[in-house]
Amino acid sequence: MQVFRPARIALFASLLCWQASANEPPATDEHQETRTYSVVVQDIDYYPIYKADLDNNDYYGYVRDLLDAFARAEGLQFEYKVRPVRRMILEYTRGLYDFALPDNPNWNRDDKQGLDVSYSPPLIEFADGLYVLKENASLTAEQMTDYGTIYGFTPWKFEEQITRGDIEVITASSPESLIRMALAGRVEVFNLAAPVANHHFRQLDAEGRFATAAHLLPVSLSRYHLSSIRHPEIIARMANFLEQNPEIPQQLQEKYGFPALPSGD
């Protein structure tokens, strides 16, 4: 009769265990996210809210910091893809990216028709108003003939007047270009976010040159959201993150020197 020595018994047992484990699927941590998600962003200098550079695929500012904080807290990885403004929405709605930032339910509604787009709560609320040179502060709504905005932005604030042809839309590639056009008299009325306008007024040494034209359109609050067609579950996680960590966006807004919001919407 063959006798198994203890060493052989141990080796035989270990081989059986290895074979059994090899036939089982590898253990995974259900809370660990290893996938990298793509986030398409606009190729615009809209600092301090965000600034993107297509040539270097560089992206930074308030919304980048906030999304990175969410990613760290949730164990996610985001890869930012800088695209020209108009191409961004076309490629996004054709399914090339997981998320778009910034986005808003009022934007690009024709492109999104038939799509189920999920939106996070606002990542930022900011005063959004019209600006005119101080010497044009008495301009009336009846005298208004143009509306300056960033190329690719949806001019929904004056949609009816633009459709009728009463107001001409004049676009610029950046806030700096738009302000320079206004200084040169090439556009009378333009729209910018207050944090962005204040930043570029300082950069161009144009502080005190412009007035808000609240009589043409009351200053309102605009909102930027993270959106996704593919991942509503991560949008829900972002909503929970913002609810549980209200101090994070507040601290980031203080870091970037956002002006105080108006009391009314």
User: Which DSSP state fits 5?
Assistant: -
Structure tokens at 101: 């930032």
52/228 Cα distance (integer angstroms)? 20
Phi, psi of 235 (to 5 degrees): -60, -40
Residues 87 and 155: their CA atoms lie apart, in Å, by: 17
Cβ neighbour number for residue 4 with a 10 Å cutoff: 10
Give the pLDDT of residue 151: 87
- DSSP letter at 153? -
Is residue 99 within 8 A of residue 228, CB to CB? The reply is yes
Q: Give the per-residue pLDDT at 265.
A: 44
CA dist., res. 161 & res. 145, Å (int): 10
For residue 32, the model assigns a pLDDT of 54
Mean pLDDT per 10-residue segment, the chain (265 residues): 43 41 42 78 94 90 97 95 92 97 92 96 93 94 92 81 92 95 96 94 94 85 96 98 97 92 60
The pLDDT of residue 228 is 98
Q: Is the pTM of this model over 0.85?
A: no
What pLDDT sits at residue 146? 94
Residue 166, pLDDT score? 92
Q: Coil, strand or helix: which one is 143? A: coil
The rounded distance, in Å, linking the Cα atoms of 141 and 152 is 24
Look-up of token digits 């056009």: 181
